[in-house]
Amino acid sequence: MAPFRRRMGPLPRQIARLQGRMPPPPVSPAARAALRRLAQAHQLLDRGAFEKAAGIFGELAEAAEAREIPRAPQLHLQARRACLDTGRSDQAVERIRHGLRLMDTHKQGHRLRAALPRIANELRSKGLNAEAESLEREFAPSLPAAPASPEEWPASRGSVRVPSKCPYCGGSIRPSEVDWVGEIAVQCDYCGSVVEGQT
């Protein structure tokens, strides 16, 4: 399975495209196929078909990791959600640990800082207290200090409304965790698509 490489970085071309000055770049057949698989996995997850969703997310995560694509950590973490909902807590924790390690490797400290407490709370809600504490101890040294001011984000982000789900792959969009492209657009954590918000 070839991983997707759909608009992976917040580049000037993307901003210009959002403003309607140029058409979208060509996308390879392999990238389109991977994007379809990703959308399918999110649909399966929403419908409660957790076993099938976990398999697809796992395949995509491993393919993305093999090519050192920065979205690999998020795909591993999404696979963990499907594993948790099928009762496979050991596999879920393994996916979580691997995804968080990849975030650290890719220098995604802001993502790690946001994801770790959210996932630890999720584990505790399912009675996995020891697992949550183990992850917190392991990754606490890798967490960057919380910024004193929102310098990492556009000043206007508080007034920007972004979709709750990516219109291209169906993945959830968390404004505090995604990368912002300019003042009003964000980049999907799962497929890398640029999604425009509204003020």
- The predicted pLDDT at position 161 comes to 86
- The predicted pLDDT at position 94 comes to 94
Determine the 3-state secondary structure of 108 from DSSP: coil
* 168: containing domain: 151-199
Determine the 3-state secondary structure of 152 from DSSP: coil
In a shared domain, residues 116 and 135: yes
How is the chain split among helix, strand and coil, in percent rounded to 5? 55, 5, 40
In a shared domain, residues 140 and 155: no
pTM equals: 0.76
* 55 inside domain: yes
CA distance 123 to 174: 19
In a shared domain, residues 60 and 135: yes
In a shared domain, residues 111 and 162: no
CA distance 17 to 142: 36
In a shared domain, residues 123 and 44: yes
Q: Which residue has the tokens 């409660």?
A: 48
- The predicted pLDDT at position 32 comes to 87
User: Could you tell me the two tokens for 9?
Assistant: 């970085």
- CATH value at residue 108: 1.25.40.10
Q: Which residues of the chain have pLDDT under 50?
A: 2-25, 148-151
- Which residue, 29, 118, 110, is CA-closest to 78? 118
Task: Tell me whether strands 179-181 and 194-196 are parallel, antiparallel or unpaired.
Answer: unpaired
In a shared domain, residues 167 and 138: no
* 119 inside domain: yes
The per-residue DSSP string of 14-82 comes to: HHHHHTTSSPPPP--HHHHHHHHHHHHHHHHHHHT-HHHHHHHHHHHHHHHHHTT-TTHHHHHHHHHHH
Contact 197, 187 (CB under 8 A): no
- The predicted pLDDT at position 156 comes to 54
- The predicted pLDDT at position 139 comes to 94
pLDDT tens-digit readout, 71-128? 899 999 999 988 898 889 999 999 999 999 999 998 888 889 889 999 999 999 999 9
* 87 inside domain: yes
- The predicted pLDDT at position 153 comes to 53
Total of domains in the chain? 2
* 131 inside domain: yes
**Beta-carbon contacts of residue 12 (< 8 Å; ≥ 6 apart):** none
In a shared domain, residues 119 and 48: yes
Give per-residue burial for 55-89: e unless 16+ CB within 10 Å, then b. Answer: ebbbbbbbbbbeeebbbbbbbbbbbbbbbbbeebb
